[in-house]
Amino acid sequence: MINDRRVVPEFYSPIYRMAVAQFEQAAERLHLDPNVRKRLISPKRALLVSVPVAMDDGRVEVFQGYRVHHDCTLGPSKGGVRYHPDVTLGEVSALAMWMTWKCALVGLPFGGAKGGVSCDPGAFSRKELQRLTRRYTSEILTMIGPDIDIPAPDIGTNEQVMAWMMDTYSQHKGYSVPGIVTGKPLSIGGSMGRSAATGQGLVYILAEALKQKNKSFSGMEVVVQGFGNVGSNAAEILYKEGCKIVGVSDAFSGLYNPKGILIPDLIQHVKKGKVVSGFPDAEKITNEELLVLKCDVLVPAAISGQITEKNAKNIKASIILEGANGPTTPEADLILKDRGIWVIPDILANAGGVTVSYFEWVQGMQNFFWKEKEVMEKLKDVMTAAFASVLETSIKENVDLRTAALMRGIKRIADAYLARGLFP
C-alpha cells in the first residue's frame, strides 16, 4: 500500500502512485533500509518552466515544461523528453523514477531523469516545433549537461528534436557538445542502431523468454499497441524473425488481420499518411478491441495505464512484453499473475533504448565510433544478462518478473547510497 504521507503532494498523480506502489512492494521484499526508502520515494530535484512560443499566426502561446532528476548517485541522470498533452509533473516524476531502476538494473552508470512539455506536437508546424524545442532547452539549461543529465527521445520527440536540443545547448556553450543528448542523427554524433534499439532490445528479451517456454519466433502471433519508434521497430524485427503480426494500432485506431499484417508495407503507409488507418488488407478495430485480441504475445508500446483491472481478465496473450513505460497498473498485474500470464516488465523489456543511448554517450565522449554489428552484439549481451538475472531473482525470491527486476535495480541504488553515505 502507498503511504501517502511520505509522497510530496506536488508529485501526486495516478502514474506516480503506480510507480510508488511498485517501489514499495519491491522495497518490502528487500527489507530496504528505511532511511534509503524515504530518500528514494521522491525525486532529487524538479524544475517547472514556462515555454513561450511565437506561433506562425503571430500569437504567443505559453506551454508548461518540466525536467525531473529522480536520482544521480551512480552518475549523470538520463531520460527522455516527452511532448504530449497529458504531460504533468507527476507523470514526468514517475517516468524519472522508472529510469533510475532501469539504468541500475542493466548496469549503466546513470541515474534516472525525464522531461517533457504539455503540448500536442502533431498540431505544430516544423518551425513552431523547433521554436518550442529551443526555448524549452534554454529554460532547462541549468539542469542538463553531458556530466549532469542527458536527454533522449520519447513520445512525440525524435532525432530532429534531439538535433535542435544539441544545437541550442552548443550555441549557449560556444562549441559543439554532442554528448548533451542521445538519439540524435548520425551526422552529428548519433550511434549506429539507436533508432531501432528499443524495439531490438524487446526482441532480444522475447527470444530469451521464449527459450524458457521451449518456443521459437516462428508462427508466433503478436499484437502491438502503438506504431511509433518502439512499436514499429519491434513489429518489423519480429515480422522478419517469422512472427505473424495480427494486430497493430496508433492513437487513432487499430488494424486486425488474423493471417498477419504486411509490416514493411504498413511502415511505408504510415510514412506517407502518418496513421495506420486506411491500410488495405486489414479490418479496422479500436484500441480496446486490440488489447484483448487472440494472440501469443501482446506488446503495449504506446502510453501508460493501458492494461487495467477492467481489461486484464479478458487478455488472451500468454506473454505481455512491455515496450511502453507503465502500461500495466498494479491491480492488473495481480489479475495477470493469477491467470498465469507472464508480464515482462518495462524496466527490463524496453531497456535497449537507454543501453544504446549509453553506447552513444560513450562513443561521443571518446570521439570513437563503433560499427552497427558491434553495437548490436553489445546490446544483446546486456539484454540477455539482464533477463537471466531477473529470472534468477524471480525464481529465488518466488516473485513475479516485475518485482524481481525492481528488486535488482533498487538494490543496486540502495547499496550505492549506503556506500556513499548521507551528505553532510
Catalytic residues: 114
Closest CB 353 distance from ligand NAD, rounded Å: 3
CB atoms within 10 A of CB 378: 16
Span near ligand NAD by CB under 6 A; candidates 249-257, 361-369, 386-394, 408-416: 249-257
CB atoms within 10 A of CB 370: 18
Closest CB 270 distance from ligand NAD, rounded Å: 8
Span near ligand NAD by CB under 6 A; candidates 142-150, 223-231, 336-344, 370-378: 223-231
Q: Which of 287, 308, 384, 389 binds ligand NAD (CB under 6 A)?
A: 287
- State the SS3 of 169-212: HHHHHCCCCHHHCCCCCHHHCCCCCCCCHHHHHHHHHHHHHHHH
Q: Which amino acid is at 136?
A: Y
Q: Which of 315, 324, 335, 375 binds ligand NAD (CB under 6 A)?
A: 324
**Neighbour-count burial of 297, counting CB atoms closer than 10 A to its CB (0-12 exposed, 13-18 middle, 19+ buried):** buried
Binding residues for ligand NAD restricted to 123-162, rule: CB under 6 A: 153-156
Closest CB 424 distance from ligand NAD, rounded Å: 36
Specify whether the CB–CB gap between 222 and 295 falls below 8 A. yes
Q: Which of 353, 382, 394, 399 binds ligand NAD (CB under 6 A)?
A: 353
CB atoms within 10 A of CB 260: 16
Span near ligand NAD by CB under 6 A; candidates 35-43, 210-218, 299-307, 385-393: 299-307
Determine, following the binding rule CB under 6 A, whether residue 325 of this chain makes contact with ligand NAD. yes
Cα angle for residues 158, 164, 166 (degrees, 5° grid): 100
Q: Which of 301, 390, 399, 407 binds ligand NAD (CB under 6 A)?
A: 301
Contacts of 303 (CB under 8 A, 6+ apart): 84, 86, 155, 226, 324, 327
Q: Which of 316, 344, 399 is nearest to 202 (CA)?
A: 344
Determine, following the binding rule CB under 6 A, whether residue 345 of this chain makes contact with ligand NAD. no
The nearer residue to ligand NAD, 32 or 94, going by C-beta atoms, is 94
Cell, residue 59 = 500569437
Determine, following the binding rule CB under 6 A, whether residue 235 of this chain makes contact with ligand NAD. no
Cα 13 to Cα 21: distance, rounded to the nearest angstrom? 12
Q: Which of 167, 208, 250, 333 binds ligand NAD (CB under 6 A)?
A: 250
Closest CB 123 distance from ligand NAD, rounded Å: 14
Q: Binding residues for ligand NAD, how many (CB under 6 A)?
A: 24
Q: Which of 350, 363, 393, 403 binds ligand NAD (CB under 6 A)?
A: 350
Determine, following the binding rule CB under 6 A, whether residue 308 of this chain makes contact with ligand NAD. no
Beta strands of 181-307 (E only): which ranges? 221-225, 244-249, 254-256, 283-285, 297-300
Span near ligand NAD by CB under 6 A; candidates 49-57, 105-113, 202-210, 295-303: 295-303
Determine, following the binding rule CB under 6 A, whether residue 361 of this chain makes contact with ligand NAD. no
Cα 247 to Cα 221: distance, rounded to the nearest angstrom? 9
Q: Which of 27, 19, 20, 15 is nearest to 3 (CA)?
A: 20
The binding site for ligand NAD (CB under 6 A) comprises 153-156, 198, 225-231, 249-251, 287, 301-303, 323-325, 350, 353
